[in-house]
Amino acid sequence: MKIKMLDLRAQYLNIKEEIDLSIKEVLESSNFINGDEVKKFSKNFENYLKVKNVIPCGNGTDALQIALMSLNLEKNDEVILPSFTFVSTVEVVVLLGLKAVFVDVFDDTFTINYKEIEKKINSKTRVIIPVHLFGQSAEMKEILEISKKYNLKIIEDNAQAVGTSYFFTDKKYKKTGTLGDISCYSFFPSKNLACFGDGGAIATNDDNLAKRIRSIANHGSVEKYFYEKIGVNSRLDTLQAGILNVKLKYLDKYNEKCKSIADFYDSKFYKIEDLQIPKRSKNSTHTFHQYTLILKNTNRKDFMEFLKTKNIPSAIYYPLPLHLQKSYSFLNYKIGDLPVSEFLSKNVVSIPIHTELIKEELNYITENILLFFNKN
């Protein structure tokens, strides 16, 4: 058996007719930029998220950059974000001349530790960027309370948790990405809602922010050839929007599939003392962009090599936290500053989870992982 970390081809073949038709329609219209499918996608995604405005853009990194640009921040204003995440989150902060301030994450849900946020707030702090990592919401009730208390904006990095719901204490729920001021999406092929190339979007319930965001993504222009602000060029192309209109219909089903795989893994692994299964936050559903285990008393390299000999891929998200990356050394963080992020980087491992995994493959994966721990 040969297992894949992701099987985009098999997923495509299952919805081939619809996808091919959508691509064909765009080719025939030849409306490649801002065609009907783009407008349709904005509407569809607004309805899905239950949010007032969706502005499509080129990718998730652009989404974060444009979101920050829309907040009228000044040089050296401070932005709080976790260190245990993908690099985009900090990259755009620094590129815009803002100061990135890292906060540690919880050691079981991997999301930003809100208890640490308040310690990092000062008179220059303007924004918090919680990342809904691996498919699970950050602890938004507490983060929203902090943002109110200090008058901060919240940009949710929702690249990994599209379709996830957050539950408030009164059992009311909202989708992640509709909790803060602005939220950002990536439709990179490996994400839960994915196109066949690069794509992204920004969502907000604030109509004024939406207007600014739309303009910034379009060279800072409101009226063609007149520029009020310096902007960027960031668009979702019509072909990708057409693909997303098809795939959005399947998103809940895909997320359910990933959750059922995670439930199966949990049922096989929870008894293994040297494995910590991913904790489910009581305030969030989980859409399992990744299924990430924490290894205890186990050499990660040995574990991954064993799996490799069985044709089971595995991956490390993320092997070095952002505060210790060479490119961000000028921020003057050192080893020991964010101990949980550092611990996780050394001990996490993600195993295959995707919509096309079949029962035989899941049995094969779990049997081999059980075998590894029994013989050790």
Ligand X SMILES: *Cc1c(COP(=O)(O)O)cnc(C)c1O
Instruction: List residues binding ligand X (CB under 6 A).
Output: 59-61, 85-86, 88-89, 131, 157, 159-160, 186, 188, 198, 200
Q: How far is the CB of 370 from ligand X (least distance, A)?
A: 30
Cα separation of 166 and 169, whole Å?
Answer: 10
Q: How far is the CB of 58 from ligand X (least distance, A)?
A: 8
Q: Name which of 81 and 324 has its Cβ closer to ligand X.
A: 81
**Distances 83 to 66, 254, 340 between C-alpha atoms, Å:** 21, 29, 10
How many CB atoms are located within 10 Å of the residue 282 CB? 7
Cα separation of 171 and 91, whole Å?
Answer: 36
Q: Name which of 85 and 178 has its Cβ closer to ligand X.
A: 85
Strand ranges (E), the chain:
53-57, 78-82, 99-103, 125-128, 153-157, 165-167, 173-175, 182-186, 200-204, 275-276, 291-295, 348-351
Query: Judging by beta carbons within 10 Å of its beta carbon (0-12, 13-18, 19+), is residue 287 exposed, middle or buried?
Result: buried
Which of 20, 12, 22 lies closest to 237, judged by CA? 22
Q: How far is the CB of 328 from ligand X (least distance, A)?
A: 15
Q: How far is the CB of 374 from ligand X (least distance, A)?
A: 34
Q: Which two tokens mark 56? A: 């499509």
Q: Name which of 258 and 362 has its Cβ closer to ligand X.
A: 258
Residues near 209 by beta carbon (within 8 Å), at least 6 away in sequence: 53, 70, 181, 182
Q: How far is the CB of 311 from ligand X (least distance, A)?
A: 26
Q: How far is the CB of 187 from ligand X (least distance, A)?
A: 7
Q: Which two tokens mark 183? A: 């939220």
Q: Name which of 64 and 362 has its Cβ closer to ligand X.
A: 64
The residue whose Cβ lies closest to ligand X is 60
Cross-strand bridge partners of residue 276: 294
Q: How far is the CB of 331 from ligand X (least distance, A)?
A: 19
Q: Name which of 59 and 111 has its Cβ closer to ligand X.
A: 59
**Distances 153 to 161, 165, 222, 337, 357 between C-alpha atoms, Å:** 20, 21, 24, 25, 40
Q: Name which of 322 and 365 has its Cβ closer to ligand X.
A: 322
Q: Name which of 61 and 137 has its Cβ closer to ligand X.
A: 61
Q: Name which of 193 and 362 has its Cβ closer to ligand X.
A: 193
Q: What is the dihedral of CA 217, 94, 180, 169, to 10 degrees?
A: 150
Q: How far is the CB of 147 from ligand X (least distance, A)?
A: 19
Q: How far is the CB of 131 from ligand X (least distance, A)?
A: 5
Which of 48, 45, 70 lies closest to 127, judged by CA? 70
Q: Name which of 60 and 352 has its Cβ closer to ligand X.
A: 60
Which of 244, 252, 248 lies closest to 195, judged by CA? 244
Residue 166 phi, psi dihedral angles, 5° rounding: -110, 135
